[in-house]
Amino acid sequence: MSLDKATVRRIATLARIEVPDADLGTVAEQLSGIMGWIEQLKEVNTDNVAPMSGGTDLKLPWRKDEVTDGDKVDQVLANAPDGHDGFFTVPKVVE
Amino acid sequence: MSYILKGETGDWEVVIGLEVHAQVISKAKLFSGASADFGAGPNEHVSFIDAGMPGMLPVINERCVEQAVRTGLGLKAQINKRSVFARKNYFYADLPQGYQISQYDQPIVGEGTLVLDLADGSTRAIGIERLHLEQDAGKSIHDMHGTKSFIDLNRAGVALMEIVSKPDLRSPEEVGAYLKKMRSILRYLGTCDGNMEEGSMRCDANVSVRPVGATELRTRCEIKNVNSVRFVMQAVEYEARRHVDVYESGGKIDQETRLYDSNKGETRTMRSKEMAHDYRYFPDPDLQPLEFDDAFVESIRKTLPELPDDKKARFISAYGLSAYDADVLVSERENGEFFEVVAKGRDAKQAANWVNTNLFAVLNKKGLSIAESPVSAANLGRLLDLIADNTISGRQAKELFEAMVETGKDADVLVSELGLKQMTDTSAIEAAVDQVLAANTEKVEQFRAGKEQVLGWFVGQVMKATQGKANPATCSDLLRKKLAS
Amino acid sequence: MTELTSFTIAQARDRLLRKEFSALELTEAHLASMERNKDFNAFITTTPELARERAKASDERIAAGKAGALEGIPLGIKDLFCTEGVMTTAASHILDAFTPRYESTVSQKLRDAGSVMLGKMNLDEFAMGSSNITSYYGPVKNPWKAKGGSNADLVPGGSSGGSSAAVSGHLVMGATGTDTGGSIRQPAAFTGIVGVKPTYGRCSRWGVVAFASSLDQAGPMTRTVRDAAIMLKVMCGHDAKDSTSSQMAVPDFEAVLGQGVKGLRIGIPKEYRPDGLNAEVDALWNKGIGWLQDAGATIVDISLPHTKYALPTYYIVAPAEASSNLARYDGVRFGLRQDGKSLDDMYAKTRAAGFGAEVKRRILIGTYVLSAGYYDAYYLKAQKVRALIAKDFTDAFKKCDAILTPTAPTAAFAIGEKMDDPVAMYLNDVFTVPASLAGIPGASVPAGLTAEGLPLGLQVLTKSWDEETMFRVCQTLEESAQFPTLGAL
Ligand SMILES: [Mg+2]
Ligand SMILES: [Zn+2]
């Protein structure tokens, strides 16, 4: 399985990681190496095997509908790189 | 009564599917203990979980599960005793975790039905495809700063039910009826307050058109987040017309997401055209599958209220109401309940008439809900009793009702305060009749000569003489008797 | 006071209660050791003042007869555990200056038991690595050196490399680790200490920076098996804030020590002895088998047929989950932010600057295997193979009570080796990853030295929730091996 530059650019955009054009080739090569090694899974017969999707088969616990959290704007915003008046901020989004 | 778009090449029909996002009524959020209430200051209803802080984990709110099952039962839908939460991955300013916890291929509720009540009294069943639970996103505010958008996460993590219809709707009218019916059912169930203006119920519409008679579906466009029933109807109408115009001029429709501009009355492509979405759904490893047993479902089923369709059928069969009157009365649970108190042991059609006509006119004018009605159901019932036992006349009843609306006082109190009692003393009415006949011999002659209409004039005179307290029927009877003698 | 750093946790616990020395003295001795051994780079953040404060409070509780299970014991906390008011970095630039306003459940439990945190331990960035060379804060040095030959600095293993180095070098008495594919067991083996990954669901993940949610488990790293049992008991237990946390009662792991292995059936999986297995590793494994046999255990040959597919399965599952877990590092609510001309540009620049090469590589792989058109071929396939791997263990545990294998295919290597071949680096975890995928408990016990004098570990695996049997086997190995622990440095 070999990944081309265009594929790397597409997944890097999906993952929101800027990859300079000059690096696309190297990254494509590295990822292709890893994906090539992963290809061996194709050998395994998994017909009629139910996928294991989590780490546990414990029953999902439910909690009561009670307000037990919130009302801590200062703590929630304490680490914000650019908080303003109780809000987080981002570069202006045009819709 | 089908909705056809006329074109130069022929007739077109519109195919519409709706996705309703209904905010679940619960105290706390779907996966955190922060409050789900509206109206707090920025980021006040936010926990570290809602803010997507490192190491934070979701734990599901049982109330939200119950509410989804309850809604599924209300839509007569398949309840899935095992469903799976999946992560829908995308980046956006108001999505703190970088993914929305939603349900993908295994939702909590499967196929169901919603019955439309159309204006001409007919009904039509619309298929429900699925209902799933998911988190709401936060809010971006774009007008507080020149170069920044401000982010408030109070809504982030609030439980939503996404209810997806099959593409069964065929006109803007049906779209309106669907949304009204959906809202009505959700309110009956107490699972969502259905307030579109506040955003607790939001609607996306998928619209496509095809030549009448065609069976294949053409490319659809999704119109996002329209915030009133009327606007959804307008948006669908505009969008359908746009599709017909494009096809007829030889163009092609691109599958895309569009916004409805209610000021201009048109839809447009979302300007920030994102690259093709690839949500990379996968089962959320922080949450095992959601599972419950039949007993859980049955315990909820037992507490379901009578729903609009059943109530309507009962109102028609038990009370003899028209489909129209029944529709109006069942549209809100409280209306039906009010009506039934008024109708109990009384003339049900008369009760329906008073509620639907007189009471609703007043409430509409004053902008009040039925819960805020200045006239209680018991008091309106009492008014009907006073008519029935001839204590007051129909005309007096209207006067009494107005006084009840203005003062909020009991019917009986107002009857005596306003001196509205009908005269029941026949001798007093007889005296008045004699007086009127004596004073108008000329008219008496006319009547005896065969001019029957004069009787009405005499009744009016007697009523006047008794300050309206005489029962008109009694007056009329007495007059006939005297004039005949 | 150097000898204070040579005690085990169990020894120090008893002596503190007998007031032979104070918690403050014990803490000061370790702070001094940290100062002397700064060049290990085992800590990202040190908290000496906080430590003295907590040690004094411990002395008060000891005086009042209210000592907790780890009262006054100086510990290191892997910098993947969020600690209230103390910077938490996951060894990543992207968490620049992040100071949580909350404490992870596990570190809170350790605090509540009276332990004294000395600081936050270095690790591979976001716990992604096997050598601690991917840390934004620089590599950690293994306190062990090869005899003769080069004097090269060796890796301490990873990702819990700061923890393993500090425990091995007596900078702390114990440390927390996290293990996603071997990140407790492999560094324990590389530094000659004990590392325990309990059953998935034993330790709460709440407040631990997530790498791969279905695999991440916290566990103790100590110099003795008894210390690991003491520490693990404090760390685990049900947490209502983690939906994958078990409600199972927590056994007294220390109580089973001394029960030995008589009558236990020990499984030896043939797939862990591939052609070309390092001869010294192979020999040590045989020695371990002999020790257990001598102690009265029965040895049974078992097969775990899907073993060779565990690593490629892991390198789909873990990056996929990581690509989603690490989406929250976006420059908006905490951590690093790089300006951009639009929202997406800000995201892309922040994440490009904030993540290191290995983390980016894994995010990209994870994004790829989940993306439209590839999900079934990779992610779904991997989940199915994972189910087969788990079933291998279920079948095996019908024939045996515990499984013995080597922990890692080699001893510690030099910093700078294997750097440019990701797959070669991934092979470090070939023996630890299967148990992670199956969710079963596993421990590494130091069992011998290579000819160059470097530590090697043996791994003990048991079925889920049976850490007690695991501890019994570990202790027998420990007693038989008489491993020459490093002295206080
Ligand atoms: Mg949708
Ligand atoms: Zn949705």
pLDDT tens digits, residue range A21-30?
999 999 999 9
Distance of alpha carbon C249 from alpha carbon C226, whole angstroms? 20
Q: Is A23 left (phi over 0), alpha (psi -120 to 50) or beta?
A: alpha
CATH number of B426-484: 1.10.10.410
- Count of beta carbons in the 10 Å neighbourhood of residue C42: 30
Distance C133 CA to ligand 1 centre (A): 43
Task: Judge whether residue C489 has pLDDT over 90.
Answer: no
What confidence score (pLDDT) does residue C253 get? Answer: 98
Output the pLDDT for position C1.
44
Q: How many angstroms separate the CA of residue B147 from the nearest CA in chain C?
A: 10
Mean pLDDT of C445-459: 97
How many A×C Cβ pairs under 8 Å? 157
B20 within 8 A of B162, measured Cβ to Cβ: yes
- The per-residue pLDDT for B272 is 47
Task: Give the per-residue pLDDT at B273.
Answer: 46
Question: Do the Cβ atoms of C344 and A16 come within 8 Å?
Answer: yes
Question: What digits encode the pLDDT tens for the residues B426-449?
Answer: 788 888 888 888 888 888 888 888
Name the closest residue on chain A to residue C325, using Cα atoms: A15
Choice among C92, C104, C130, C159 that is catalytic: C159
Annotated domain spans of chain B: 4-300, 308-418, 426-484
pLDDT surpasses 60 at B271: no
Tokens 């095809």 sit on residue:
B210
Q: Is A18 on the interface with B (CB under 8 A)?
A: no
Residue closest to C100 by CA, chosen among C407, C440, C335, C354: C335
Average pLDDT over residues A44-49: 97
Residue B224 has pLDDT above 50, yes or no: yes
The answer to whether C164 and C193 are in contact (CB under 8 A) is yes
Name the residue with higher pLDDT: B292 or B465: B292
- Our separate counts of H helices and E strands in chain C read 15, 11
pLDDT digits (tens, 9 = 90+) for C304-358: 999 999 999 999 999 999 999 999 999 999 999 999 999 999 999 999 999 999 9
Q: Which residue has the tokens 């914000």?
A: A80
> How far apart are the C-alpha atoms of C459 and C473, rounded to whole Å?
10
3-state class (DSSP) for residue B126: strand
Q: Does C101 touch chain B (CB under 8 A)?
A: yes
Is C9:C173 a contact under the CB 8 Å cutoff?
yes
DSSP output for B343-380: HTTS-HHHHHHIIIIIIHHHHHHHT--GGG-SS-HHHH
Give tens-digit pLDDT for C375-403.
999 999 999 999 999 999 999 999 999 99
**Closest by CA position to C405, among listed C429, C438, C439:** C429
ipTM over 0.95: yes
Structure tokens at B108: 């909590």
The fraction of chain C above a pLDDT of 70, given in percent, is 100
- Select the residue of B52, B285, B286 nearest C328 (Cβ to Cβ): B52
C-alpha closest to that of C455 among C485, C429, C488: C485
Tokens standing for residue B382: 């009492």
pLDDT above 70 (res A1): no
Tokens of C330: 């976006």
Q: Which residue has the tokens 């760390």?
A: C235
Listed in sequence order, the residues at least 6 apart from A52 whose beta carbon sits closer than 8 Å to its beta carbon are C383, C384, C386, C387, C390
- Closest approach of B279 to chain C, Cα-based (Å): 8
For residue A88, give the nearest of C333, C349, C364 by CB distance: C333
pLDDT (tens digit per residue) in B95-117:
999 999 999 999 999 999 999 99
Q: Which residue of B has its CA nearest to C369?
A: B280
Scanning B249-371, the segments in alpha helix (DSSP H) are 294-301, 308-319, 323-330, 333-343, 348-353, 360-366
| C78, pLDDT greater than 90 | yes
Nearest-angstrom CA–CA distance, B61 and B25: 12
Question: How far is the C-alpha of C257 from the C-alpha of C473, rounded, in Å?
Answer: 9
Strands (E), C70-224: 74-78, 116-121, 174-179, 194-197, 217-222
Distance B307 CA to ligand 2 centre (A): 26
Q: Is C303 helix (H, G, I), strand (E, B) or coil?
A: coil
Say if C209 is an interface residue toward chain A (CB within 8 Å).
Answer: no
Closest of A7, A3, A8 to residue A23, by C-alpha:
A8
Which tokens sit at C434?
């299967």
Kindly list the residues from chain C whose CB atom is less than 8 angstroms away from the CB atom of residue A30. 361, 422
Best CA proximity match to B235, nearest among B211, B271, B200, B259: B259
Give the model's pLDDT for residue C8. 97
Strands C217-222 and C194-197: antiparallel
- The confidence band for C422, taking pLDDT boundaries of 50, 70 and 90, is confident
Q: Hey, are the CB atoms on C378 and A38 less than 8 Å from each other?
A: yes
Nearest-angstrom CA–CA distance, C345 and C352:
10
pTM for the whole structure: 0.93
Average pLDDT of the residues in C145-154: 88
CA distance A23 to C352: 12
| Closest CA relative to residue C431, chosen from C455, C469, C404 | C404
CA distance C466 to C354: 40
- Structural domain includes residue A38: yes
Give residue for tokens 């130091």.
C446
Mean per-residue pLDDT of chain B: 93
Query: By the 8 A CB rule, do C317 and C399 touch?
Result: no
Q: What is the CB-side half-sphere exposure of residue C73 using CA atoms within 13 A? A: 35
- How would DSSP label each residue in B16-82? EEEEEEEE---SB-SSSSBB--S-PSTTTT--TTTTT-TT----EEHHHHHHHHHHHHHTT--B-SE
Task: Tell me what pLDDT residue B274 has.
Answer: 53
Greater confidence (B421 vs C447) lies with C447
Across the strands, what pairs with B165? B128
**Mean pLDDT of the residues in chain C:** 96
Q: Average the pLDDT over each of B185-199, B441-455, C13-27, C134-148 and give the range with the smallest value.
A: B441-455
Tokens 């993940």 identify what position? C205
Judge whether C368 is closer than 8 Å to chain A, CB to CB: yes
Determine the distance from the C-alpha atom of residue C361 to the mean position of all C-alpha atoms in its chain, rounded to a whole number. 22
Q: For C163-182, what is the mean pLDDT?
A: 98
Structural domain span for residue A25: 5-42
| Domain residue limits, chain C | 4-261
C144: confidence class by pLDDT, cuts 50, 70, 90: very high
Q: What residue has token string 């459940």?
A: C105
| C329 lies within 8 A of chain A by CB | no
Q: Which of B13-17, B403-407, C183-187, C239-243 is predicted with the least confidence, judged by mean pLDDT? A: B403-407
Q: What are phi and psi of B420, to 5 degrees?
A: -90, 0
* Residue numbers of C between 299 and 328 with CB closer than 8 Å to B: 320-321, 323-324, 326-328
Query: How many other C-beta atoms are found inside a 10 Å radius of the C-beta of residue B413?
Result: 13
Residues from chain B that touch A56, judged by Cβ atoms under 8 A, are 288
> Where does residue C85 fall: left (phi above 0), alpha (psi -120 to 50 degrees), or beta otherwise?
left
C398 flagged as catalytic: no
Rounded to a whole number of angstroms, the distance from the CA of A28 to the nearest CA of chain B is 20
Contact: C375, B280; criterion CB under 8 Å: yes
Name which residue leads in pLDDT, C419 or C321.
Answer: C321
What is the rounded CA–CA span in Å between residue C156 and residue C138?
Answer: 13
DSSP β-bridge partners for residue B100: B88
DSSP C44-70: EEE-HHHHHHHHHHHHHHHHTT---TT
The answer to whether position A82 is within a domain reads no
CA dist C122 → B245, C26, C33, C131, C484 (Å) = 65, 22, 16, 11, 25
Whether residue C110 contacts residue C176, with contact meaning beta carbons closer than 8 Å, is answered with yes
Q: Is C241 among the residues known to form the active site?
A: no
Using a CB–CB cutoff of 8 Å, tell me whether C75 touches chain A: no
Nearest ligand, measured from the Cα of B136: 2
In DSSP terms, A63 is beta-bridged to: B61
Residue with tokens 């922040």: C350
- Nearest beta carbon to residue B285 from set C100, C321, C328: C321
Are B272 and A94 contacting, i.e. CB atoms less than 8 angstroms apart? yes
Q: What's the gap in Å between B300 CA and the centre of ligand 2?
A: 24
Per-residue pLDDT, averaged over C48-71, amounts to: 98
- Is C78 marked active-site? yes
Total domains in chain A come to 1
**Which pLDDT score is estimated for C414?**
94
Asked if A71 is an interface residue toward chain B (Cβ–Cβ < 8 A), one would say yes
Compute, in angstroms, the gap from residue B263 CA to the centroid of ligand 1.
Answer: 25
- The C-alpha atoms of residue C27 and residue C51 are separated, in whole angstroms, by 7
CATH numeric code, C4-261: 3.90.1300.10
Reference B418, options B426, B430, B409; nearest CA is B409
Give the per-residue pLDDT at C425. Answer: 85
Percent composition of chain B: helix, strand, coil (DSSP 3-state, to 5): 40, 20, 40
Which pLDDT band, with edges at 50, 70 and 90, does B421 fall under?
confident
| Reported confidence tier of residue B472, pLDDT bands at 50, 70, 90 | confident
Is 80 exceeded by the pLDDT of residue C261?
yes
CB atoms within 10 A of CB B263: 5
| C-alpha span between A15 and C254 (Å, rounded) | 46
Q: How many CB atoms sit inside 10 A of residue B466's CB?
A: 18
Against chain A, the chains showing at least 3 CB pairs within 8 Å are: B, C
Interchain contact, B280 vs C330, CB within 8 Å: no
